[in-house]
Amino acid sequence: MNHPDMTKNSDCKKFYVIGLNYQKADVVTRSNFSLSKENQKQLLSEARRINIKSVVILSTCNRIEIMGFAKHPFQLISLLCKYSKGTVEEFAKVSYVYKNSDAAEHVIRIATGIESQILGDYEIVGQLKDAFNLAKEADTVNSYLERLFNVALHASKETKNRTSISSGTTTVSYAAIQYIKDNYSKKDPKNILVYGLGDIGQSTARSCAKYLNSHAITIMNRTESVAEVLASEIQVEKAGHMDLAKQIKASDIVIVATGASNPTVTPNMVSNEKDQLIIDLSIPRNADPEINKKENINIIDVDVLSKKTKETLEERKKQIPLVEEIIDKYKSEFYEWLNFRRSTPAINSLKKSLELIQQDAISLHSKKHEDVNTELVDDITSQMINKIVSKFAMHLKSENTQANQSIKVMKDVFNLEPTEN
């Protein structure tokens, strides 16, 4: 397949994905670069002000990425550093930058779950949709990004339907549940507190109610109405946010999944009298690192949990070749659309040029031959024009076609007006 230069435009911008993830950046570094929802909105707003009109932000517990059109990737990197706690120097040590076709492929790969920290983790699909919708609200999505996300989500759907790469449902929240099941007996019931009821927190609370119902489960959220609705739905206890410290002290296991920018579980909140487990699913981390100094407290985070899934992951790895085939299929589909979009102005220009030649020829022969059936001639020559244009369009779609060269030859031969790339 002929891969076009996807990003040339009047501003000479290219499509970039800049970011960092779990592969080179540990949980502390990822915390430094994480972006709150409010900061994401401010970043998108500033991007528009400085003429970066097409940009999407993906900020999760495992990766932080900005994807969009810029003259240079440093424009996107600067925005990330401005609205997070990270620095350019720190970013350079653990980051990656993809450009043009590599960047587009990266987005498709993410959507299939093949790039997730826990292979096949489909929480990323919802996170991609949320990222896209936020950018849509900020009016920072052009037709290129809209099509790319649409293709990526179709690739994700086919991966889920045709492969078993997500078998075992080894998400971060499920890994937390599995850790508790493996280490705490049903015969010794524990008090479990789930604090923070965003997407991951709600998923974890539901899994607790389903798989750990021999333990006493309490949920808590800053917006108490959310906790009230969920508690009624899954039949667990609800505690008011004002009792956070009291509930933490009374719990044997605390699962933290808030979206706060600073630690919400502090050393003075935990028990000094009994052993406690704190599972921190938050990015940035919400359990103060100082708690680690207490001998009776065991803290585990998302990086630790990911190591608990080896057996399932080995089975999932066998699905990778099939997922790669699906990725190749949707890459080709995207490139075909892009080639067609880039060639459409030239095809329209060719048709217009041929119609002018047609009109001149009919007009000339009408003057020379009074008995010419102009309606019949117009019908026949229009059919010829449509066939010529159709043949040329098919030529541009061919895998072996150098589309840019073909369009240039056509422009030179027919003296066509310039078209925007």
With residue 339 as reference, give the H or E element that holds it.
helix 320-368
- Which pair of structure tokens corresponds to residue 323? 């997922």
- Which pair of structure tokens corresponds to residue 287? 């359990």
- Which pair of structure tokens corresponds to residue 409? 């030859």
Question: Which of 12, 61, 81, 208 is an active site residue?
Answer: 61
Rounded to the nearest 5°, which phi and psi values hold at 15?
A: -90, 125
From the list 313, 311, 256, the residue with the least C-alpha distance to 285 is: 256
- Which pair of structure tokens corresponds to residue 255? 């699962």
With residue 99 as reference, give the H or E element that holds it.
strand 96-99
Question: For this structure, is 61 an active site residue?
Answer: yes
Residue 46 vs residues 36, 37, 55, 99, 342: alpha-carbon distances, Å: 15, 14, 11, 22, 29
Residue type, 400: N
Residue 177 vs residues 64, 117, 123, 207: alpha-carbon distances, Å: 25, 17, 16, 7
Q: Using an 8 Å Cβ cutoff, are 218 and 192 in contact?
A: yes
Residue 201 CB partners (closer than 8 Å, separation 6+): 194, 195, 221, 255, 257, 258, 281
Following DSSP, what letter does each residue of 372-397 receive, concatenated? --HHHHHHHHHHHHHHHHHHHHHHHH
- Chain centre distance of CA 177: 26
| 57 conformational bin, left if phi > 0, alpha if psi -120 to 50, beta if neither | beta
Dihedral of alpha carbons 64, 11, 82, 98, sign: positive
| 100 conformational bin, left if phi > 0, alpha if psi -120 to 50, beta if neither | left
Q: Using an 8 Å Cβ cutoff, are 125 and 107 in contact?
A: no
Residue in this structure with the two tokens 């892009």, named with its chain if needed: 338
Would strands 297-301 and 276-280 be described as parallel, antiparallel, or unpaired?
A: parallel
From the list 130, 159, 114, 146, the residue with the least C-alpha distance to 21 is: 114
* Catalytic residue numbers, as ranges: 61
